[in-house]
Amino acid sequence: MNLKELQKRIDDLIDLINYHRAKYHTDDAPEIPDSAYDALLQELISLEQEHPKLKRPDSPANKVGDQPIEAFVKVKHTYPQWSYDNVFSYTELVAWHERVIRFAKKENILLKNLDFKLDLVCEQKIDGLKIILTYKNGNLITAATRGDGEIGEDVTHSVSVIKSVPKKLKQSVDMVVVGEVWMDKNDLDILNKCRQESGEALFANTRNAAAGAIRQLDPKITRERNLKTFIYHIDNYEVDGKQVIIKTQAETFEILQDHGFSINKPILYTDKLEEVQKIYEQQVSNKKSYNHGVDGMVIKLNDLALSNQIGYTAKSPRFAVAYKFPAQEVTTVLLDIKLQVGRTGAVTPVAVLRPVLVDGSVVSRATLHNQAEIDRLDIHIGDTVILRKAGDVIPEVVEVIKKLRPTNTQLFKMPTKCPECNSLLKNNINSTGDESVAIFCPNKHCPAQIIERAIHFVSRKGLNIVGMGDKIVERFIGLGIVSDFSDFFNIKEADIVELERFGEKSTDNLIEAMQKAKNVKLANFIYALGIIHVGEETAELIAKNVVDANKLPTQTYDDLIKIDGIGETVASSVIDYFAQPENLELYKKLISILNIQKPKSIKIKNQNITGKIFVLTGTLNELSRDEAKILIKKIGGTVSASVSKNTDYVLVGGSPGSKYDEAVKLGIKIIDEAEFKKMLN
């Protein structure tokens, strides 16, 4: 972008951020996820750092919160109310830690001791509404929101009806304390159910529900919402008119508890960042198990004198940082749309994105599915989009932020011809006689389809030819060495020499891997064939019931439909596959080359698990998902890809996706990795 385009991007970001800031802080009605808002703000900060001359004096990067609501009496805070800077990765956390040490040394606070370590405190970052409580002679006199950090709203009438807020302290002291008001997730469900029945808009999350309850003019409504508080900071503490010096964060929590405040105790005291990272990962895994909303971890210096000396930036403390949980939804820019031809001939538009970190991994591509989805999103190349992980792993574009759309962009339209072989594309006719929204290349000899089918065949879940990467497969096909699947087992050393960067050792390893792959389980073999609608779990079901590879082509539609878990679509697809002479010929050739192993009969240790259906979601700590699937099958269970009323257990790891929410909604038993391991005995 040139300077004019950069300035427009910055101006548009500021307008949009200010809009969403007000929706969040003032209206309690956010329109985008917090993580997407964070991404917009991070982009603005990055642009301002790269181009400081373009930074505006009114930049929201310098602001704390938002303006107080006009309906409430304004309260000027005696002590400024800061917001934390955010970090989103361990690398950024290390950088913050190094900055703190540099600031300390600059102020000559520390002796120049290379072994010096900072004592840190880790607390949950509660996703609630910040409140400031002021006590005089032990009596609550004011409760205020943060507002813009200098002026907040007087919400004493609402806060005073919250049971966990002391109206009178145990001692006649003067205190100013800071904390969060939050709502229990179960209470939110009850509230939303009532609002739905009365036709009112639902609250998006517990934070918005809590904020909405606090900002009620009628305290009776606030009382009915059953709000709770956690207090975590003391701005001022005086006993008999004398200032009490508090030395550490640990002492802060002791004083708060002694005076009857509800606290959420720190989860870790340490001087090692490695331990901080470990506890952070545990918090990510457990975040949905807490009744209160948690969106990260706050990491502070334990030493308060040291914290005060290190000080603040314009809007944030230097001595503390918020380590946010991996974003489920973020914003990024659509750079281009490419077409991808799959092994079945489906032509899919793929979004080429500015690389962005979402849910713990860097994403630069996402499927756009089909023209109907592109039309629904009204997506243009150059748009800023909201991106999320669907089904835990697949990136998808959720929404276009049209207020950031560049000028002179056009809606993308799918072509009429295959980008690989120039064949005329067509819509398939489904079982009901309707045209599918997806388009296909009908040419089974399309180069892209041939390559994709071959890659699928040798993949880890198929024949598992170790070292046979996508580029190598493509090269073998391009050289004419591989024309069908059986050719993989006739590749010789002289053929591999044709490839670049292959030495003697790597050549020997690849030949050995191809020979080893000849010993293959029936389920893996069925999956490797690439039959439409036959995925990993479906291949397992067919293998368990057919058992003998020689008998698979002779199975009738009625034979297949009798298998529990096999529906009409899959049964028809298998029949259609073997009805094609070239497929049947290749199949016979392969079973003459391969040593296909029949499924083993499994002795079930835990009879209570026999026939139980499991669904997996999230990242497990000690097992990979594939290992967990294998163990489930060994104990007589079945793995399903989606949650339904027939699901018995949902095994949950870190950063679970929509399957977790569906399980909660349906009342399905949710287990963690520890509970799962107990089932194995």
Give the Cα separation of 349 and 369 in Å (integer).
6
Contacts of 418 (CB under 8 A, 6+ apart): 341, 347, 424, 425, 441, 443, 446, 448
Between the two ends of the chain, the Cα-to-Cα distance in Å is 61
HSE of 668, CA atoms in CB hemisphere, 13 A: 26
* DSSP code per residue over 75-110: EE-SS------EE-SHHHHHHHHHHHHHHHHHTT-S
Which of the four CATH numbers 3.40.50.10190, 2.40.37.10, 3.20.20.70, 3.20.20.30 does domain 607-679 have? 3.40.50.10190
Q: What tokens appear for 593 in the block?
A: 């080359």
Calculate what percentage of the chain has a pLDDT beyond 70: 92
Long-range contacts of 277-285 (CB under 8 A, 24+ apart): 277/90, 277/93, 279/122, 280/122, 280/323, 281/621, 281/654, 283/124, 283/325, 284/325, 284/326, 284/654, 284/655, 285/618, 285/619, 285/621, 285/653, 285/654, 285/655
User: Which of 479, 425, 423 has its CA nearest to residue 451?
Assistant: 479
Q: Of 125, 287, 288, 544, which residue is the catalytic one?
A: 125
Give the alpha-carbon dihedral of 600, 606, 607, 609, to 10 degrees: -90
Report residue 436's pLDDT band, with 50, 70 and 90 as the boundaries: low
pTM, 2 dp: 0.59
**Residues 108-121, mean pLDDT to the nearest whole number:** 67
pLDDT at 431 over 50: no
pLDDT recorded at residue 389: 73
The fourth-level CATH superfamily of domain 328-442 is: Nucleic acid-binding proteins (2.40.50.140)
pLDDT score recorded for residue 608: 66
Per-residue pLDDT at 242 exceeds 50: yes
- Answer for the pair 59, 14: CB distance below 8 angstroms, yes or no: yes
Return the pLDDT at 405.
92
Stated length of the chain: 681
Q: Taking all residues of the chain, what is their mean pLDDT, rounded to a whole number?
A: 86
pLDDT in tens, 457-510: 999 999 999 989 899 999 999 888 999 999 999 888 888 877 777 778 888 889
Cα dihedral 472, 477, 478, 479 sign: positive
Render pLDDT for 132-169 as a digit per residue (tens, 0 to 9).
999 999 999 999 998 888 888 899 988 988 999 999 99
At 3 the pLDDT is 84
Confidence of residue 432 (pLDDT cuts 50, 70, 90): very low
Place domain 86-324 in its CATH homologous superfamily. DNA ligase/mRNA capping enzyme (3.30.470.30)
pLDDT for 198 beyond 90:
no
Compute the average pLDDT of residues 1-25.
Answer: 83
Q: What is the pLDDT of residue 139?
A: 94
CATH topology of domain 447-597: DNA polymerase; domain 1 (1.10.150)
Residue pair 592/574 in contact by the 8 Å Cβ criterion: no
pLDDT at res. 508 = 87
Beta strands 86-87; 320-324: pairing state = parallel
What is the residue whose two structure tokens read 């001022």?
A: 236
pLDDT tens figures, 200-235 = 878 878 888 888 888 777 778 888 888 999 999 999
Question: How far lies 540's CA from each of 281, 517, 598, 637, in Å?
Answer: 33, 18, 11, 12
Task: Examine the residue annotation and report whether 125 is marked as an active-site residue of this protein.
Answer: yes
Q: Is residue 362's pLDDT more than 90?
A: no
Placement of tokens 């805070």 in the chain: 77
From 291-305, 370-384, 435-449, the region with the lowest mean pLDDT:
435-449
Grade residue 601 by pLDDT with cuts at 50, 70 and 90: low
Each domain of the chain, given as residue ranges in start order, spans 3-63, 86-324, 328-442, 447-597, 607-679
Q: Are 629 and 403 in contact (CB under 8 A)?
A: no
DSSP string of 122-134? EEEEE-SEEEEEE
- Which pLDDT band, with edges at 50, 70 and 90, does 628 fall under? confident
| Among 260-274, 424-438, 521-535, 547-561, the least confident range | 424-438
- Mean pLDDT score, 630-647: 80
For residues 619 and 559, the model is more confident at 559
The larger pLDDT score, comparing residue 298 to residue 329, is at: 298
pLDDT digits over 307-340, tens only?
Answer: 998 888 877 899 999 999 887 788 999 999 999 9
Q: Kind and range of the H or E element at 527?
A: helix 522-528
Q: Which is more confidently placed, 41 or 498? A: 41
Asked whether residue 656 carries a pLDDT value surpassing 50, the answer given is: yes
Give per-residue pLDDT as tens, 510-547: 999 999 999 999 999 999 999 988 988 788 889 888 88
Q: What residue type is assigned to position 608 of the chain?
A: N
Residue 231 has φ and ψ, to the nearest 5°, of: -105, 135
Range of lowest pLDDT (267-281, 401-415, 645-659): 645-659
Low-confidence winner among 414-423, 513-522, 575-584, 605-614 (lowest mean pLDDT)? 605-614
Is a pLDDT exceeding 50 seen at residue 54? yes
Given this model, what pLDDT does residue 390 score?
58
Q: Tell me what pLDDT residue 178 has.
A: 96
Alpha-carbon span 441 to 452, nearest angstrom: 13
For range 42-47, the mean pLDDT: 86
The answer, yes or no, to whether residue 411 has pLDDT greater than 70, is: yes
User: Can you give the pLDDT at residue 112?
Assistant: 54
More confident residue, 620 or 579: 579
Q: Which CATH class is domain 3-63?
A: mainly alpha
pLDDT of residue 429: 55
Q: What is the 3-state secondary structure (H, E, C) of 2-53?
A: CHHHHHHHHHHHHHHHHHHHHHHHCCCCCCCCHHHHHHHHHHHHHHHHHCHH
Q: What is the pLDDT of residue 504?
A: 81
